[in-house]
C-alpha cells in the first residue's frame, strides 16, 4: 500500500499538480475500479491517509423508503427499510448507511491493471482541470507569446506557457501580419476545449478591453486606479475613444493618459498598428458626455429624446457636421459606442468658431458693469 501512495506523490511532482489534486484523482480511480469489479450501480467511498500511507475503499448501501424509484434504478446502492431491518437488524432507520470494506487486492491482477489505467486517466483530467482554472482566472488579461505557425486561413497559433493560443483572422487588427518567431501581445478572451485541438486559449487584439489593458500598463495612474477608464470604443487599427475620470483634483486624466509629448499614448498606438486614440473627460450627464464624445466637432446643443431607448439629437452647424461624422462615419460611430446612445445630427444655421459660438445665432455680449456699489455689502 505504501508503494501505491508513493506513486501518487511521484505523479503529482511529475505532472506539476498538488498532492491534494493527485489524491482526489486516486480516490476517483479507486471508486471507478471498484465499480468495474462489481456493478456500475454500486456506490463506493474512498479515503486516503497520506500520513500513514494507507487507503480504504468502502461499499455504501443507503436505506430508503419502499417504493422509491432509486431501488429499481440503482439496486446495488440502495435498500428498502423493511429489507434492511429483516436482514441486518430492527434498530436500523431511514437514511442509515450499511458499509462494508472492499478489498481491491482480492480481485486479482485485472483490478490492479484497471486501477493503474484509471489513475492515469484521472491524473490527466486533474492536470487539465488545474490548467483550465489557472488560465480562466487570467481571462481579460494581456498574454504574451511566440508565434508557432500561421495556417492557410491566416489563423495565428501562439505558444503561451503550457497551452497554445489561437489568434483568428477576425480577432486580428486589419493589416497585421505575423510570422513564426514573432512575439505577440493579445487579450485572453476564453479558455476553450475542442475535440481536435484540445484545450486552447482564444485570443483577441480587436476588443476594446485590450486597449484598456494596454493603457493600464503604460499609464501608472490608470494601473493604480487614480484615473478610471469609464468607457471605451474602437474600430481596430483605425481609431478609438476613451472616456476617463478621476476623483483627484490634482490629476489631469487626459494629460496623464497622453503623457509628456504623447509618449504614453503613442506607445499604445504603436502596439495597435498605428490606431489613433482620443481621450475625453467622462461625465455622468448624458448631454455633456455626448458633446465631449463627438470631439473634435463642436455641438450647439444636445437633447436626449429617449432615456429608455437611449436616443439623442445633436444640433450642429454645417461647418462642424463633417467633423462630427468623421471619415466614413467613424467619429459618430465611436461616439455612439462610447456613450451607448444612438446619435442623430440635426443641422442648424450658422458657423461655429473655435470658441464654440455660432455666428448665425450670436447672443449679444452682456454689457459689462463698472458700478461696484453692489460689492460693498460683502465687506460690511
Residue 380 has a pLDDT of 45
Considering the domain architecture, whether residues 124 and 177 belong to the same structural domain is answered as: no
The domain of 131 spans 2-136
**Distance (Å, whole) CA 137 – CA 159:** 18
* Averaged pLDDT, 269-275: 94
- Return the CATH number at 123: 3.30.1480.10
pLDDT for residue 152 is more than 60: yes
Q: Could you check whether the bond before residue 75 is cis, i.e. omega within 30 degrees of 0?
A: no
Residue 357 has a pLDDT of 53
Among 19-23, 249-253, 300-304, the minimum mean pLDDT is found in: 19-23
pLDDT tens across 22-67, in order?
889 999 999 999 999 999 999 999 998 888 888 899 999 999 999 8
Considering the domain architecture, whether residues 251 and 297 belong to the same structural domain is answered as: yes
Residue 288 within any structural domain of the chain: yes
φ, ψ of residue 129 in degrees (nearest 5): -65, -40
Mean model confidence pLDDT for the chain: 88
Residue 365 within any structural domain of the chain: no
User: Where residue 112 falls among pLDDT bands split at 50, 70, 90?
Assistant: confident
Considering the domain architecture, whether residues 231 and 318 belong to the same structural domain is answered as: yes
Considering the domain architecture, whether residues 228 and 123 belong to the same structural domain is answered as: no
Considering the domain architecture, whether residues 123 and 108 belong to the same structural domain is answered as: yes
pLDDT for residue 233 is more than 50: yes
* Total tally of structural domains belonging to the chain: 3
Considering the domain architecture, whether residues 319 and 195 belong to the same structural domain is answered as: no
Q: Which residue has the higher pLDDT, 362 or 127?
A: 127
Where a domain ends, among 154, 183, 204?
204
The per-residue DSSP string of 91-126 comes to T--TT-EEEEE--GGGGHHHHHHHHHHHHHHHHHHH
C-alpha torsion sign, points 289, 295, 301, 303: negative
User: The pTM is what?
Assistant: 0.74
Considering the domain architecture, whether residues 177 and 318 belong to the same structural domain is answered as: no
- Return the CATH number at 262: 3.30.300.20
User: Where residue 241 falls among pLDDT bands split at 50, 70, 90?
Assistant: very high
* Averaged pLDDT, 362-368: 41
* Averaged pLDDT, 159-182: 91
Considering the domain architecture, whether residues 351 and 286 belong to the same structural domain is answered as: yes
Considering the domain architecture, whether residues 116 and 223 belong to the same structural domain is answered as: no
- Return the CATH number at 190: 2.40.50.140
Strand ranges (DSSP E) for 182-337?
183-194, 198-204, 227-235, 239-246, 276-281, 301-306, 311-317
* Dihedral class, residue 22 (left if φ above 0, else alpha if ψ from -120 to 50, else beta): alpha
* Dihedral class, residue 310 (left if φ above 0, else alpha if ψ from -120 to 50, else beta): left
pLDDT for residue 373 is more than 70: no
pLDDT for residue 68 is more than 70: yes
How many Å from the N-terminal Cα to the C-terminal Cα in the chain? 97
Residue 255 has a pLDDT of 95
pLDDT for residue 87 is more than 60: yes
Residue 364 has a pLDDT of 40
- Among 341, 339, 323, 321, smallest CA distance to 331 is for 323
Residue 375 within any structural domain of the chain: no
Residue 180 has a pLDDT of 92
Compute the half-sphere exposure of residue 153: CA atoms within 13 Å on the CB side of its CA.
Answer: 8
pLDDT for residue 369 is more than 60: no
pLDDT for residue 174 is more than 70: yes
Residue 17 within any structural domain of the chain: yes
pLDDT tens across 276-327, in order?
999 999 999 999 999 999 999 999 999 999 999 999 999 999 999 999 999 9
Q: Across-strand partners of 345?
A: 314
Q: Encode burial over 306-326: b for 16+ CB neighbours within 10 A, e otherwise.
A: eeeeeebbbebbeebbebbbb
Residue 355 has a pLDDT of 53
Residue 352 has a pLDDT of 73
Where a domain ends, among 109, 136, 163?
136
Residue 367 has a pLDDT of 43
Amino acid at each position: 500500500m505504501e508503494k501505491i501512495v508513493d506513486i501518487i506523490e511521484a505523479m503529482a511532482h511529475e505532472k506539476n499538480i498538488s498532492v491534494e489534486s493527485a489524491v482526489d484523482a486516486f480516490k476517483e480511480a479507486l471508486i471507478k475500479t471498484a465499480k468495474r469489479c462489481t456493478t456500475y450501480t454500486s456506490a463506493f467511498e474512498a479515503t486516503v491517509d497520506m500520513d500513514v500511507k494507507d487507503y480504504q475503499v468502502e461499499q455504501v448501501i443507503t436505506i430508503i423508503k419502499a417504493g422509491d424509484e432509486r431501488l429499481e434504478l440503482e439496486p446495488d446502492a440502495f435498500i428498502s427499510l423493511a429489507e434492511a431491518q429483516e436482514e441486518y437488524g430492527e434498530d436500523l432507520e431511514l437514511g442509515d448507511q450499511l458499509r462494508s470494506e472492499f478489498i481491491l487486492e482480492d480481485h486479482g491482477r485485472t483490478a490492479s491493471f484497471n486501477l493503474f489505467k484509471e489513475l492515469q486517466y484521472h491524473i490527466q483530467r486533474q492536470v487539465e482541470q488545474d490548467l483550465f482554472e489557472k488560465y480562466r482566472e487570467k481571462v481579460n488579461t494581456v498574454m504574451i507569446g511566440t508565434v508557432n505557425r500561421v495556417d492557410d486561413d491566416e489563423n495565428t497559433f501562439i505558444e503561451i506557457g503550457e497551452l497554445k493560443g489561437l489568434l483568428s483572422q477576425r480577432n486580428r487588427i486589419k493589416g497585421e501580419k505575423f510570422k513564426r518567431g514573432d512575439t505577440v501581445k493579445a487579450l485572453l478572451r476564453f479558455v476553450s476545449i475542442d475535440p481536435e485541438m484540445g484545450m486552447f486559449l482564444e485570443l483577441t487584439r480587436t476588443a476594446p478591453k485590450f486597449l484598456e489593458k494596454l493603457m493600464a500598463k503604460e499609464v501608472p495612474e490608470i494601473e493604480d486606479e487614480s484615473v478610471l477608464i469609464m468607457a471605451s470604443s474602437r474600430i481596430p487599427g483605425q481609431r478609438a475613444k476613451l472616456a476617463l475620470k478621476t476623483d483627484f483634483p490634482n490629476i489631469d486624466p487626459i494629460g496623464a493618459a497622453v503623457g509628456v509629448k504623447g509618449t504614453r499614448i503613442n506607445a499604445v498606438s504603436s502596439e495597435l498598428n498605428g490606431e489613433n486614440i482620443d481621450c475625453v473627460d467622462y461625465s455622468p450627464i448624458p448631454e455633456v458626455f455626448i458633446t465631449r464624445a463627438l470631439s473634435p466637432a463642436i455641438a450647439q446643443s444636445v437633447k436626449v429624446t429617449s432615456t429608455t431607448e437611449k436616443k439623442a439629437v445633436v444640433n450642429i452647424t454645417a461647418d462642424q457636421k463633417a467633423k462630427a461624422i468623421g471619415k466614413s462615419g467613424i467619429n459618430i460611430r465611436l461616439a455612439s459606442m462610447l456613450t451607448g446612445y444612438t446619435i442623430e445630427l440635426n443641422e442648424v444655421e450658422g458657423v461655429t468658431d473655435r470658441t464654440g459660438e455660432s455666428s448665425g445665432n450670436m447672443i449679444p455680449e452682456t454689457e459689462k458693469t463698472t458700478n461696484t456699489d453692489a460689492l460693498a455689502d460683502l465687506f460690511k
